[in-house]
Amino acid sequence: MGYEKAIVRSMSRIEARKLGLALLVGCCIVILTYFISMSETAGVDEQPSLTYKVGTNEAVEGKIGVPNSDSVTKERGNKAAAHQHANNAEDKEEEVESKKPAEKSLPPKKQDEVIQMMKPQSAPVCDLSNFRTEFCEMKGDVRVHGKSSSVVFVSPHHQNNEWKIVPYVRKHMGNIEKVTVRTTTSPESAPRCTVNQTVPAIVFALGGFTGNYYHDFTDVLLPLFLTARQFDGEVQFLITNIQVWWLHKYQPIIKRLTRYEFVDLDRSNEVYCHPHVMVDLRFHSDLTIDPSRAPNGYSMLDFTRFLRSAYSIERDHAVDLREHPERKPRLLLVERNGTRRFTNVPEIIRMAEGLNFEVVRADASFGDVDGFVSVVNSCDVIMGVHGAGLTNFVFLPMNAVLIQIVPCCELEGMATHTFGVPSTQARLHYLEYNIGVDESTLLELYPRHDPVFTDPQSIHRQGWFKMGKIYLKKQNVKLDVNRFRPYLQKAMDFLRQ
């Protein structure tokens, strides 16, 4: 009896252990099944963009795990009967269908992003956002017809479109003929090539303000450097409104920018085909370069070095008076022949020589750039009244000094923009001297109580031409040498740094 009770107790303990073990195994199976189903869902949702081959609806192998019905049955145990297995297989088939990539449910914005990733990307052809200029760039099948002033870009990635572009950095110039730039998806709608080239081409115009020394540089030469220099001479210039005398005037610069003969588009009936064409020139601001936007990170310092190299002038740095205190710095006095000229030049020279400067009196004659740049480069300081002659700062050696004398009245902002900012970018020292009313010859034309002196802004508000007629065309300068002397002393201090 005692033995039987012991057996019963023993069997009860065994049954309890079996029941507990069975419960534990069941719980594990349920938990495992839950995590498997969750991992399947997470594997699809976390990175849907990685589940497509580019340009197809095919799932990428190994990126989406779509289990078959057998594996699901094994993962969920062998407890189901045959008819339940069939039902599970049918349910799973529907689940697989719902997970096919082509039918994945993505938010509309995400769907657009995926579609864009699957399409070839192409940059806009023309940028019209700059208030001063327009610029178009095309790479591929580009055809330029001379006499019609048209550029056709054959591209399957651009819809048919058309722009009228002024190929000059002042897009509001009325005397520059526009160039038609259009895109087409059909080669048959483009003119047939008659001249095939393998190098890029730049379409631009001469005219506008070219012929003025300042505008030659700010409107053409610097933008041309900014656009063409990256090709190291392997680029051709297709020019409208061509001025042969102008190209000859700046021949050393032009020859360093291109190894190819320029094309007079206005007189050519050829169709020039290039793999890369730009219409107009890159432009950031007047006589300045923004390295963050420039090809190869070019800067104003790169431009001035390029000019010195083009004209074979090798003086890179101004005199260092710490190392050579015995030397006299050379001061270039820019004398204007028209308005805004100095009326007391001999007095200015005596004062400068008294401060130990060697004064150089010179101004470039029309067209004689080659002979003048070496004179400029030999100097350490250049001074003159606001005007085109100060553009010669681009040939000065680094650490030289530019002193701009600003005419009356309230022209400081214009003067700083024109020469102050560019010269500083070229690693020169810049000084600005604003003359007083007593130094202006306008006193010979207007009484001192006239708004010309008492309210200059009333003149400025009348527009550029009214302002220019009075302050730029009628005004000369009688420099107060005693008031100006500290500026030359400061220039000397710069050369001692």
Which domains, and CATH codes, for the chain? 2-118 (no CATH), 137-292 (no CATH), 330-496 (3.40.50)
Check residue 28 and give its pLDDT: 54
Check residue 365 and give its pLDDT: 57
User: For the chain, which ranges sit under pLDDT 50?
Assistant: 1-16, 18-19, 30, 32-106, 109-121
- H/E stretch holding 496 reads helix 481-496
Q: What is the per-residue pLDDT across 197-224, written as a single tens digit (0 to 9) for each?
A: 999 999 999 989 999 999 999 999 999 9
| Neighbouring-strand partners of residue 237 | 202
Separation CA 273–CA 358 (nearest Å):
55
Separation CA 197–CA 236 (nearest Å):
9
Check residue 122 and give its pLDDT: 61
Task: Give the start-end residues of each E strand in 174-299.
Answer: 179-184, 195-196, 201-205, 236-240, 263-264, 271-279
Separation CA 55–CA 119 (nearest Å):
7
Structure tokens at 468: 């220019």
- According to DSSP, the β-strands at 150-154 and 179-184 are parallel
Q: How many Cβ atoms are within 10 Å of 421's Cβ, its own excluded?
A: 16
Q: What is the per-residue pLDDT across 478-497, written as a single tens digit (0 to 9) for each?
A: 999 999 999 999 999 999 98
Task: Give the start-end residues of each E strand in 311-357.
Answer: 330-334
Check residue 25 and give its pLDDT: 53
Q: How many Cβ atoms are within 10 Å of 388's Cβ, its own excluded?
A: 17
Check residue 291 and give its pLDDT: 97
- H/E stretch holding 126 reads strand 126-127
| Neighbouring-strand partners of residue 153 | 142, 183
Check residue 26 and give its pLDDT: 59
Check residue 12 and give its pLDDT: 47
